[in-house]
Amino acid sequence: MTQKPAVDQELAPDVVAQPELTGKKTLGGRLASQRVWLGCIAGILALILLPMLSDLIFGGSSDFQLHHISLIGIFILAALAQNILTGYAAQPSLGNAAFFGVSAYVLTWLSSDLGQPYWIGILAAVVVSALLGLIVGTPALRISGAHLAVATLGLVTTVGALLNFWDTTAGRQNYDLSNLPDFLNDDRTLYYFIFAIVVCLLFLSYHLLHSRVGRAWIAIRDNETAAEAFGINLTKYKLQAFVISAAMTGLAGSLYATWATTASSSMSSADQTIAFLAMIVVGGLGSLTGSILGAIFVGFLPLLLGQLPSPMVIGSFQLQISTLITGIYGLLLLLVLIFFPSGLSSLGTQAGNWLQRKPSKGGTE
Amino acid sequence: MLKVEQLHVGYGSLEVLHGISFDVPEGAIVAILGSNGAGKTTLMRALSGLIPIKSGKIDFAGKAVGRLVAEKRLREGLALVPEGRDLFGSLTVRENLLMGAYTRRSRTEIEQDIERILERFPRLKTRLQAHAASLSGGEGQMLAIGRALMSHPRLLLLDEPSHGLAPIIVETVFEVIEQLNREEGLTIVLVEQNAHQALEVAHTAYILQSGSIVLNGEATTLTANSAVQELYMGG
């Protein structure tokens, strides 16, 4: 197919080589969606096979590893929630760790103290988080940017302190989650349980983000004035993002309590907030793949650092590695922002561009 | 069709428009000319409901719309093509068009309108799945106009359609404006710095200076006016 860059070139300097992008169901579009489907199927297969592989690699005592991989699934949910709110709906809210903590306590309280079934506990945790999201989101809409970030960070530390206060007045060291269904006590079934939820929510999020609601969020992010001019109700959609994000974080929080079989006030802390933020910035703002990559990166890092001897002795220094993890998150944020300003999810595109550019460079020489 | 009376608009204590009045008959192209800082964009934002008015009246099709929110005015048929186009950069061309129809519900009608707009702007058809941010200036302006048309407007507000475009593209854009008016009977209000182009397509024009209208008349009369020539058309 020959392209004729004649008179119209000024109107479309980069239209060349995209002749297939015309209709709704084009060849290019079909190939792209086929690739997405293939990727999804490969990913799901890998998730199903992973426990068996880890058995092969690490032998029978691999439950420790699998247990940590499950944690990544929980972080994927949390990163997804933060990304919907911050990467798509453009609300720089740092309050999600509060919902993460509260939902863990709601589940543990209902399940351990009141003896309610686990499923009721999960449901209640998600509903309470969504309601809190609504309560927090309503005033948060009137502030923006740095003010919103600082105000919601205040919420996280306040909630963390309240949960800690509850622990203290109840006179408990650990708030353990008992009364779990049997299959959740097994690392392998817990792994499958968590990743089934992750896959479902990734699927739902994908469709949500490609629906009217998702388009409205992106439009608000890209250009708030134009979005308003075309009749998008800013308040409604921002609030929706707050509630959905909070509910999702609540699910992640109650799964975390299930995973750790305990609820801890440190789940609602500035450190946790930074971890969520690091995930989406490292992974890529406004990208589903980015949420996954970021969660893997940030989720795996403590695991790897945990393998280091602590305290580490270098000469006469004793290095307490565990106290450095947050610092390393911060450093990573810095490095990724410098080298991959749009996150790890841009790696694929960047590699593609690089490969495409190479031969054309050779041609001009 | 649009009647503006004694419109005062400002930001906080700063008043930008000091009592503006003008009339737009149905089916007309009315140009409002002014240099940088004359209050052109403020006027467009006030007309489309993006900023509140301080006092005065905006009547559209016999209805007082001056206190309505942007969404209601859009539903009445008052659509804005913003300055600098204000596209949704990370949405595709198609999705941008869909955003223009956000207040409408009928799927089939929306699809028909997209087809109609792509016929008018064939260039967009080849770029349908491209991100709006990757469009050239001319394509972007076509998309901005197409997006506004998706709301089924009765009156199109164009904020500096020539902004940031190469002269040859400006000509194409103004041809499109003229066509929309002639073929579809669309009433058009455009604010422009480029008086030469604007007066060529407009029927009547108003000169806006520091937030007040200082001169108005038939486009042909104003083109011949030596003061206008000197101030806005480079002598």
pLDDT single digits (tens) A98-127: 999 999 999 999 999 999 999 999 999 999
| Nearest residue, CB atoms, A14 vs list B48, B49, B134 | B134
Secondary structure, 3-state, chain A = CCCCCCHHHHCCCCCCCCCCCCCCCCHHHHHHHHHHHHHHHHHHHHHHHHHHHHHHHHHHHCHHHHHHHHHHHHHHHHHHHHHHHHHHCCCCCCCHHHHHHHHHHHHHHHHHHCCCCHHHHHHHHHHHHHHHHHHHHHHHCCCCHHHHHHHHHHHHHHHHHHHHHHHHHCCCCCEECCCCCHHHHCHHHHHHHHHHHHHHHHHHHHHHHCCHHHHHHHHHHHCHHHHHHCCCCHHHHHHHHHHHHHHHHHHHHHHHHHHHCEECHHHCCHHHHHHHHHHHHHHCCCCHHHHHHHHHHHHHHHHHHHHCCCCEEECCEEECHHHHHHHHHHHHHHHHHHHCCCCCCHHHHHHHHHHHHHHHHHHHC
Amino acid in position B175: E
Contact criterion met (CB < 8 Å) for B128 and A227: no
Give the Cα separation of A98 and A153 in Å (integer): 9
Region of poorest pLDDT, from A301-310, A352-361, B60-69: A352-361
Closest CA to B58 of A20, A146, B70, A45: B70
Contact criterion met (CB < 8 Å) for B99 and A22: no
Residue A352 in this model has a pLDDT that exceeds 70: no
Q: What pLDDT sits at residue A307?
A: 61
A343: chain B residues, CB-CB within 8 Å: none
Chain position carrying tokens 């940088």: B36
The percentage of residues in chain A with a pLDDT greater than 70, rounded to a whole number, is: 78
Q: What pLDDT sits at residue A278?
A: 87
Q: What pLDDT sits at residue A64?
A: 57
Whether residue A270 contacts residue A156, with contact meaning beta carbons closer than 8 Å, is answered with: yes
| Nearest residue, CB atoms, B128 vs list A21, A229, A233 | A21
Q: What pLDDT sits at residue A3?
A: 42
Chain A: give the shortest CA distance to residue B224, in Å: 33
Whether residue A303 contacts residue A70, with contact meaning beta carbons closer than 8 Å, is answered with: no
**Tokens representing residue B6 in the block:** 């004694």
What is the Cα gyration radius of chain A?
23
Residue B90, judged by CB atoms within 10 A of its CB (0-12, 13-18, 19+), counts as: middle
Give the Cα separation of A21 and A1 in Å (integer): 14
Residue A11: pLDDT band with limits 50, 70, 90: very low
Q: What are the domain boundaries of chain B?
A: 2-232
CATH class of B2-232: alpha beta
| Nearest residue, CB atoms, A219 vs list B82, B91, B125 | B91
A226: chain B residues, CB-CB within 8 Å: 82, 86-88
Residue A349, judged by CB atoms within 10 A of its CB (0-12, 13-18, 19+), counts as: exposed
Q: What pLDDT sits at residue A363?
A: 38
Contact criterion met (CB < 8 Å) for B139 and A12: yes
- How many contacts, defined by CB atoms under 8 Å, are there between A and B? 103
Residue A49: pLDDT band with limits 50, 70, 90: confident
Q: How many other C-beta atoms can be found within 10 angstroms of the C-beta atom of residue A67?
A: 15
Q: Which residues of B touch A (CB under 8 A)?
A: 48-50, 70-71, 74-75, 80, 82, 86-91, 94-95, 98-100, 102-103, 123, 125-130, 134, 136, 138-139, 147, 151, 166, 168-169, 172
Residue A204 in this model has a pLDDT that exceeds 70: yes
Contact criterion met (CB < 8 Å) for B126 and A219: no
Instruction: With both helix axes pointing from N to C terminus, report the angle between A234-260 and A63-82 in degrees, rounded to the nearest 10.
Output: 170
Q: What pLDDT sits at residue A12?
A: 39
B61: left (phi over 0), alpha (psi -120 to 50) or beta: left
| Nearest residue, CB atoms, B130 vs list A18, A23, A26 | A18
| Nearest residue, CB atoms, A228 vs list B70, B129, B139 | B70
Whether residue B218 contacts residue B203, with contact meaning beta carbons closer than 8 Å, is answered with: yes
Contact criterion met (CB < 8 Å) for A230 and B89: no
Looking at residue B71, the DSSP 8-state letter turns out to be H
Angle, alpha carbons B99-B100-B103 (nearest 5°): 85
| Nearest residue, CB atoms, A11 vs list B82, B102, B139 | B139
Q: Which residues of A touch B (CB under 8 A)?
A: 8, 10-15, 18-19, 21-24, 26, 28-29, 212, 215-216, 218-219, 221-223, 225-233, 286
**Tokens representing residue A278 in the block:** 């690091």
Collapsed DSSP state (helix, strand, coil) of residue B141: helix
Strand order in the sheet with B187-192: B78-81, B155-159, B187-192, B29-33, B204-209, B212-218
Q: What would the pLDDT profile of A58-110 be if each residue is shown by its tens digit? A: 655 545 578 888 899 999 999 999 999 999 999 999 999 999 999 999 999 99
Which carries the bigger pLDDT value, residue A8 or residue B9?
B9
Contact criterion met (CB < 8 Å) for B98 and A219: no
Closest CA to A204 of A284, B79, A67, A196: A196
**Tokens representing residue A111 in the block:** 């399940």
Which carries the bigger pLDDT value, residue B124 or residue A331?
B124
Calculate the dihedral angle through the C-alpha atoms of B91, B92, B93, B98, rounding to the nearest 10 degrees: -60
Residue A23: pLDDT band with limits 50, 70, 90: very low
**What is the C-alpha end-to-end distance of chain A, expressed in Å?**
25
Interface predicted TM-score of the whole assembly (ipTM), two decimals? 0.88
Give the Cα separation of A144 and B224 in Å (integer): 50
Q: What would the pLDDT profile of A228-285 be if each residue is shown by its tens digit? A: 999 899 999 999 999 999 999 999 999 999 999 999 999 999 989 988 998 998 899 9
Q: What pLDDT sits at residue A173?
A: 87
Which carries the bigger pLDDT value, residue A356 or residue B83?
B83
| Nearest residue, CB atoms, A218 vs list B88, B130, B136 | B88
Query: Which whole number is the average pLDDT over A312-317?
Result: 72
Reading chain B (235 residues) residue by residue, the pLDDT tens digits are 999 999 999 998 899 999 999 999 999 999 999 988 899 999 999 999 999 999 999 999 999 999 999 999 999 999 999 988 899 999 999 999 999 999 888 889 999 999 999 999 999 999 999 999 999 999 999 999 999 999 999 999 999 999 989 999 999 999 999 999 999 999 999 999 988 899 999 999 999 999 999 999 999 888 888 777 777 766 5
Q: What would the pLDDT profile of B52-94 be if each residue is shown by its tens digit? A: 999 999 999 999 999 999 999 999 999 999 988 899 999 999 9
Give the Cα separation of A77 and A202 in Å (integer): 8
Contact criterion met (CB < 8 Å) for A219 and B166: no
Query: Which whole number is the average pLDDT over A32-51?
Result: 78
Chain-centroid distance of CA A280 in Å reads: 6
Chain A: give the shortest CA distance to residue B213, in Å: 26
Chain A: give the shortest CA distance to residue B228, in Å: 31
Give the Cα separation of A105 and A99 in Å (integer): 10
Give the Cα separation of A65 and A61 in Å (integer): 9
Average pLDDT, chain A: 82
Angle, alpha carbons B94-B134-A234 (nearest 5°): 55
Chain A: give the shortest CA distance to residue B99, in Å: 7
Which carries the bigger pLDDT value, residue A4 or residue A298?
A298
B168: chain A residues, CB-CB within 8 Å: 10
Q: What pLDDT sits at residue A187?
A: 84
Residue A9 in this model has a pLDDT that exceeds 70: no
